[in-house]
Every structure is written in C-alpha cells, then in structure tokens.
C-alpha cells in the first residue's frame, strides 16, 4: 500500500501548491480593489500621493458625492436599467435557448448563428441610427429606451450560454415527463428551469453586469432624466486631471448594491436537485 501513502503525500503537496498559487491570484485580483477603497478615504492633499499609507482618513470624498454631486440618482437609475434588462433578457432568452437546444428544425443552427451576429457588431456603428429612431419616436432619455438597447445586446449571449447549459441536462428526464403526458411548456417550466438554475443565475448576473457597465449607449441615449453611473463617473476625468478622491468614492459606493444582489444570488449557483432525487431513488 506504499503507493497509496506516496500519492497521499504527493497530493498533499499538490494541494498546498494549488492553494498558494490561487491565494496569490486572489491577492492580485483584490489588491487594486483595496487600493480604490483606501484612496477613497484619503483627503485631497494625500490622494495623489499613492504610496502614502499613513494619513487621517476622511469622509470628504463621500460627502462630495452624496451632497454636491449626488450619486444616488445614477446608482438608482443604473440599477433599474440593469435589473430590468437582465430579467427581460433571461425571460426572453431562456425559452429561445430551449427551443434551439431541444427542437430540431430546418435552419436552426443558422438562426442561432444569426442571433450571435448581433453580438459581433461593433456597437459604435449602430448607435447613430439607434439614436435617430428613438429621437423621432420621442423616446430618448427614458428608462425604456436604455433597457431596450441593453436587452438587445444581452440577448445573443444569454441565448447562447443558456443553450449550452440546457444541453448539459440529460434529455431523458424531459422525455419521461412528455411520455407521462405533460405539455412542452410544463416540462420547460417545471423540469428544465429548476435544473438549469445555476446557469440562469450566472447568465442573469452577467447580463446585469454588462448593463451596469455599459457606456456608449448610456451616454448617447440619455441626458437628463436618466443618469447612468458610467457616464457620471466618467465626468471625473477632466483635462486637468482625474479627480481621484470622488471617483474612487463613487466606484466604492456604486459597487454595494450590485454586490448585495450578487451575494443573494450566488447561493443559487449550486448543484441543484440531483438526478437521483428526480428519479425517485
């Protein structure tokens, strides 16, 4: 049994190595974030001295972005748009992905590819016609137009990713349900959806994030009534330098609602009900 023992020690070393490498990785990922947060508490005379770590923390940057240049409305507006467009993309995209994954029909793969082409085009090319249509319709500077634009861009990737996740589910379960007499829709809602929950949560979160950090259309399609966070934060970039204190404070505050949502959701990216339970064993 010596081989067992050796492999035991060997695997312990490998384990340790993996932990070290991954911890380093996480350090690299989080170091800039820590820098942002610390910088947001620096008073003006220290803010541009990046390697000064001893300083009296101050709330002046946060006061600035909550009173003089309030960040509340941009955060709220961006949350509304991101939440709505991600929910909408999931609601529209998951059924479409289901059809593309489970049904066979002529032109199916071509259709899937055509959907993806919307994801391939440089957004900048289409922003002017987009702007012009909605200007004529008088719909500029509304939540509706931005949600629509973001949903348009989110749909292709939602559909493609959900299609893969749905494909990962063995079809036998659905087959048995269909044989038992359940309708396609019931099968989709009651069997597929629960099993593909991890995928939906991940894709939903990504759709949310893409909308949250979208810049070009948010800039062009909205002006006064809807303020998007990315546009607001960009105004801290002036030709006389980046206003670092308020910008880092804005980034820090704006992260919070998104992180709350993420924390609430990430619990659901877990291996769902196992097939064992489903088969009633």
Partner 1 sequence: MIRDPRKKYIIFFLLPSMLILCVVGLFPFFYVLILSFHQYRLTWWGKPWIFVGLDNYRYIVDWDRYWKSALNTIIFAVGSTTLELLIGLALALFLSREFRGRGILRTLIIIPLLIPPVSIGLMWRFLLHPLLGLIPWIFKSFTGVTLSFFETGSTAMLSLILIDTWEWLPFMFLVLLAGLESLPKEPFEAAYIDGASRWQIFRHITLPLLRPVMVVAFLLKLLISLKVYDLIYTVTTGGPGHTTETLSYLVYRETFAYFWMGKGAAMALLYEYMIIVFAVVFVRYALLKARG
Partner 2 sequence: MGRYGVMASTETPKKKLIFAAVILAIIVIAGVSAYYLIWKPAAEKVIRIYMEDMVETEYLEQILPEFEEETGIKVIIEKASYEVMHEKLVTVFTSAKGYYDVIIVDNPWVAEFAEAGWLIPLDDFLQEHPELNVNDYLLSLWWTVGAYWKDNKTYMLPWYNYALALMYRTDIVSEPPTTWEDFYSLALNVTNPDEDFYGVAAQARRGYKVVEEGLNYVYGFGGNVFDEHLKPIINSTEAVEALFLYGLVVWKAAPPGAINWEFDEAFDAAQSGHAAMMITYNWMIGALNNPNKSATADKWMVAQVPGGFAVLGAWGWAIPHNSPHKDLAFQFLAWVAHPETEKKLALMGHAPTRKSTFLDSEVNSKFPYMQTLYKVVNNSLPIVPPVTVGEQIVHILGRYFSDSLLIVKDYLDGKITEDQAKSQIMSKLTAAAQEIYDIMSEEGYYTEVFTLPPPWGPG
> Which residues between 187 and 226 bind partner 2 (CB under 8 A)?
189-191, 193-194, 219-220, 223-225
Place of tokens 């877990």: 270
**Helical (H) or strand (E) element with 47:** helix 44-47
Q: Is 146 in the site for partner 1 (CB under 8 A)?
A: no
Q: What angle do CA 150, 153, 158 make, to 5 degrees?
A: 105
Q: Is 63 in the site for partner 2 (CB under 8 A)?
A: no
Is the CB of residue 100 less than 8 Å from the CB of residue 162? Answer: no
Site for partner 2 in 219-258 (CB under 8 A): 219-220, 223-225, 231, 234-243
Q: Is 35 in the site for partner 1 (CB under 8 A)?
A: yes
C-alpha 128 chain-centroid distance: 26
With CB under 5 to 8 Å by kind, the binding choice for 190 among partner 1, partner 2, none is partner 2
Is the CB of residue 249 less than 8 Å from the CB of residue 64? Answer: yes
Please state, in angstroms and as integers, the Cα–Cα distance from residue 270 to each residue in 28, 196, 197, 235, 266, following that order.
26, 10, 8, 40, 8
Q: How many residues bind partner 1 (CB under 8 A)?
A: 110
- The Cα–Cα gap between 196 and 252 comes to 32
With CB under 5 to 8 Å by kind, the binding choice for 37 among partner 2, partner 1, none is none
149-188 footprint of partner 1 as x/- string (CB under 8 A): x-xx--x-x-xxx--xx-xxxxx---x--x-----xx--x
Q: Which residues bind partner 2 (CB under 8 A)?
A: 44-45, 48-49, 69, 80, 83-84, 87-88, 91, 128, 131-132, 135-136, 138, 140-144, 147, 177, 189-191, 193-194, 219-220, 223-225, 231, 234-243, 273, 277-280
């Amino acid at each position: 049994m010596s081989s067992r023992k050796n492999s035991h020690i060997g695997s312990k070393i490998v384990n340790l190595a993996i932990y070290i490498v991954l911890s380093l990785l996480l350090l690299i990922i989080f170091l800039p974030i820590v820098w942002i947060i610390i910088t947001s508490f620096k008073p003006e005379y220290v803010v541009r001295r990046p390697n000064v770590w001893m300083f009296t923390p101050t709330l002046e940057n946060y006061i600035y972005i909550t009173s003089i240049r309030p960040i509340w409305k941009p955060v709220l507006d961006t949350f509304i748009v991101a939440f709505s467009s991600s929910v909408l993309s999931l609601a529209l995209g998951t059924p479409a992905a289901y059809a593309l994954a489970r049904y066979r029909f002529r032109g199916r793969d071509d259709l899937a590819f055509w959907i993806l082409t919307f994801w391939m085009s440089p957004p900048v090319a289409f922003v002017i016609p987009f702007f012009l249509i909605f200007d004529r319709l008088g719909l500029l500077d509304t939540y509706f137009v931005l949600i629509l634009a973001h949903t348009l861009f989110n749909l292709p990737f939602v559909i493609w990713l959900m299609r893969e996740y749905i494909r990962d589910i063995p079809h036998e379960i659905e087959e048995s349900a269909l044989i038992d007499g359940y309708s396609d829709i019931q099968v989709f809602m009651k069997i597929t959806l629960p099993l593909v929950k991890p995928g939906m949560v991940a894709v939903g979160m990504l759709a949310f994030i893409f909308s949250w950090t979208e810049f070009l259309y948010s800039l062009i399609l909205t002006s006064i009534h809807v303020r998007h966070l990315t546009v607001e934060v960009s105004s801290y970039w002036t030709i006389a330098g980046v206003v670092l204190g308020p910008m880092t404070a804005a980034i820090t505050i704006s992260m919070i609602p998104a992180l709350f949502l993420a924390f609430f959701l990430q619990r659901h990216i877990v291996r769902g009900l196992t097939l064992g339970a489903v088969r009633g064993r």
